[in-house]
Chains A and B, each alone.
Chain A
Amino acid sequence: MTIPEQFPTGLRVLVVNDDTSCLRILETILRRCLYNVTTCSQAAVALNLLRKKKGCFDVVLSDVHMPDVDGYILLEHIGLEMDLLVIMMSADERVSAVMKGIFHGACDYLIKPIREEELRNIWQHVIRKKWNENKEVEYSSSFEVNVDNNVQSYSTMAFRVAAQVPTAGQVPTLVPSLADIPASYDANSGEMLNQGPLGNLGFIVDELAFEVSL
């Protein structure tokens, strides 16, 4: 998974809403967030577009109540046919309605009128999903090493990054949280201040490369 430098700028959003004034407002807000917006006033057309252009969108923002195809049906189709996040929108704030949306697979449910801050944050769902997908690559969830009776445990984070190390020339793209890296790593110099017992694993954090060795 590559996180582009200017993320979340350019997040590819498809907005589906039969109400043209709503659509115009959403489009404007999303453009302000520097997202890449495509609008659609009919669910059937939206589904067609998604089928034709698989992999061209990061997230779908759909109204629940639409005259041609119900928002839940669109949601189900998207869930079955493609791996795409869907956020539902509605003026119906009842808990039952929100639950229905979540049960149908919506990753979020926004109540109208929708504020700019809510739309600005939708990238978090996308990144969370990609992050969870990448977690499946890790070797083990945690491990302990006993060095001279001094047990140290290492978080999954560092190891997960190590699991991503590809062959030479390629840059692994997960950036671990520095809080998870053993405290003996100096983030500024990229140097290990004392050796850890992990064995030789090389991985890159941003532009810094370092090794942890036994």
Chain B
Amino acid sequence: MERNQQLRRQLAAMRQSLFDQGYLDEQFIQLEELQDDANPNFVEEVVTLYYRDSARLLSSIEQALEKSNTLDFNKLDTYMHQFKGSSSSIGAKKLKAECTQIREYCKAGNGDGCVKTFQQLKRDYATLKKKLESYFQVARQAGPKEIASRSK
């Protein structure tokens, strides 16, 4: 019991810091609300799908950015639009903002801006992934009830 309480407290703290540090927004809460007995691991499933799909997209973006002299801004913009859409679905606040920024740079034809912001985006993407993986690990240890009990 005691250990469980500790885990739950740890879980709540991890969750709160993800919001406080601006990694997640309200959309993540929407996902948590969709989790129930019929879908006990919903949030983790969706996040896993997101990271699986977006990995491909990210490498396409990286390839597009490598041709720094002949950057296809339209193509890049399309990729970023897609990435923004899926990132916003899981509530990845920072990533969403970075996508918007890159799209602005695309409109302005600013290749450097695109590259720099994308480097940041990649870092935040990886950080979020690690944090969420740890979060889900603790959640599994704490037991199913934890994800269901959230403060609004």
Q: Which residues of chain B have C-beta atoms less than 8 A from A22's C-beta?
A: 85-86, 89
- Whether the pair B34, A25 counts as a contact (CB closer than 8 A) is yes
Interface of A is mostly: helix
Q: Which residues of chain B have C-beta atoms less than 8 A from A32's C-beta?
A: 34
Q: Which residues of chain A have C-beta atoms less than 8 A from B82's C-beta?
A: 19, 65
- Whether the pair A21, B46 counts as a contact (CB closer than 8 A) is yes
- Whether the pair A113, B27 counts as a contact (CB closer than 8 A) is yes
B135 at the interface (CB under 8 A from A): no
- Whether the pair A20, B34 counts as a contact (CB closer than 8 A) is no
Number of interface residues of B (CB under 8 A): 25
Place the interface of chain A in its size category: 10 to 19
Question: Contact string, A88-131, partner B, CB cutoff 8 A, digits 1/0?
Answer: 00111000000000000000000011011000000000000000
Interface of B is mostly: helix
Residues of B whose CB lies within 8 Å of any CB of A are 27, 30-31, 33-34, 38-39, 42, 45-47, 49-50, 52-53, 78, 81-82, 84-86, 88-91
Q: A21-B90, A22-B89 are in contact. List 12 more A-B contacts (CB 8 A).
A: A19-B53, A21-B49, A21-B89, A24-B46, A28-B34, A28-B39, A65-B78, A112-B85, A113-B30, A113-B88, A115-B30, A116-B34
Residues of A whose CB lies within 8 Å of any CB of B are 19-22, 24-25, 28-29, 31-32, 65, 90-92, 112-113, 115-116
17 contacts between A and B (CB under 8 A): A19-B82, A20-B53, A21-B49, A21-B53, A21-B90, A22-B85, A22-B89, A24-B49, A25-B34, A31-B38, A65-B85, A92-B81, A112-B85, A112-B88, A112-B89, A113-B27, A113-B89
